[in-house]
Chain A
Amino acid sequence: MIASGTPLKVSLAATAASLVLVLVVFELIRSRRLRERYALLWLVTGIVLVVLSAWRGGLNTIAGWLGVRGYPPAVLFAVGLLFVILVLLHYSTVISQLSDQNVILAQRLALLETKLEERTNRR
């Protein structure tokens, strides 16, 4: 029978990688390059991955629930991918909102400019 646990090395490497993610996000917030409202999803992603990577028993159990027989760390890929999709979707909505607001700003600015020019010309 094939060993169906999570290899220690995989667990260590995955934990280290996800810890780096959490630290990078933290530093980005601290140095004000990332706003809290856009960082929350990244933080959750990082923390979930740290927990699943470090806690091999839990990962194996979840793999069992999901019917992943051969290689439990596959669950890490699945969870990671799920969160990346969530983050991307979130960003798509944010970008849509930003571009709408950008249109409104450009229109307001142009109208103000016209108003100002028409006023100075009249004098």
Chain B
Amino acid sequence: MSAETFRRIAIVPAYNEEHNIGRVVDELHAFDPGLDVVVISDGSADRTAQVAAAHGAHVVRLPFNLGIGGAVQTGFRYAHENGYELVVRCDGDGQHDPSQLPNVLAPVLAGEADIAVGSRFVEGAGYRSSATRRVGIRLLAWIVSAIARQRVTDTTSGFQALNRKALELFAADYPHDYPEVEGMVMTIKHRLRLVEVPVSMREREHGRSSITALRSIYYMTKVLVALFVGLFRRRVVPAEDV
């Protein structure tokens, strides 16, 4: 099926990305003029929200920084409440190249997946990074693969496409802080079909990634605890308290 038949939206979380966000929005519109774009400015102190609005995106301004999980879920809720049927998620720093979107969308459009994740490590993607980062990413991929009983390679990728079914789950329940890893496990535990597709990602052009050494230790510990405890949880969506 072609994407044109769906109401579709791109969710772009952004924290202080005034130098990148304009180009990201333009590229998404250029890729598909029928694709709505919602930028979630996660308590940005710069002109991220104004720039995004000037480039024709819908903008949600969070009053303070919620972290990537809270920001992205805001986007999911926006998409859910407004009846979108097809969602892509990509980062506001320009790392995710919209020209790769057809790859990411393909399994969802073909009805083969409820969620498709762009992976830098699937055969054919070609990606290099520092040794410590690789070890961390490998370890997480190994653990998630074991829990999910499905081989995954990139557990931290925010370059994703979702159908309405996956959107409904994530609008109701989405992990906090660093959500991608737990999100993957959640998806599979809820028996949604997850498929990884190879993508190449770009280096960010302006500013700095939010992940520092100390944070990545906290991140690993927190994610490991969450994954371990998650093993003892039945698949429940918490009561909606909105």
Contact = CB atoms under 8 A, between A and B. Distances in A.
Contacts of B238: 32
Given A37-B176, A37-B222, A40-B221, A104 B63 contact: yes
B64 A37 contact: no
19 contacts: A26-B229, A26-B232, A29-B225, A30-B232, A30-B233, A35-B176, A36-B177, A36-B229, A37-B176, A37-B177, A39-B225, A40-B218, A40-B221, A40-B225, A43-B225, A101-B63, A101-B64, A104-B63, A108-B63
Contact of A40 (B176, B222, B232, B233): B222
Interface in B10-31: none
A36 B225 contact: yes
Contacts of B233: 30
Contacts of B226: 36
Interface string B207-242: 000000000001001100110010011000010000
Interface in A90-123: 100-101, 104-105, 108
Interface of A: 26, 29-30, 32, 35-37, 39-40, 43, 100-101, 104-105, 108
A69 B232 CA distance: 43
A29 B226 CA distance: 8
A36 B229 CA distance: 9
Given A32-B238, A101-B63, A108-B63, 19 more contacts: A26-B229, A29-B225, A30-B229, A30-B232, A30-B233, A36-B177, A36-B222, A36-B225, A36-B226, A37-B176, A37-B177, A37-B222, A39-B225, A40-B218, A40-B221, A40-B225, A43-B225, A100-B64, A104-B64
Given A36-B222, A37-B177, A29 B229 contact: yes
A40 B220 CA distance: 12
B223 to A, nearest CB: 8
A100 B63 CA distance: 11
B225 to A, nearest CB: 5
Nearest to B218: A40
A81 B238 CA distance: 35
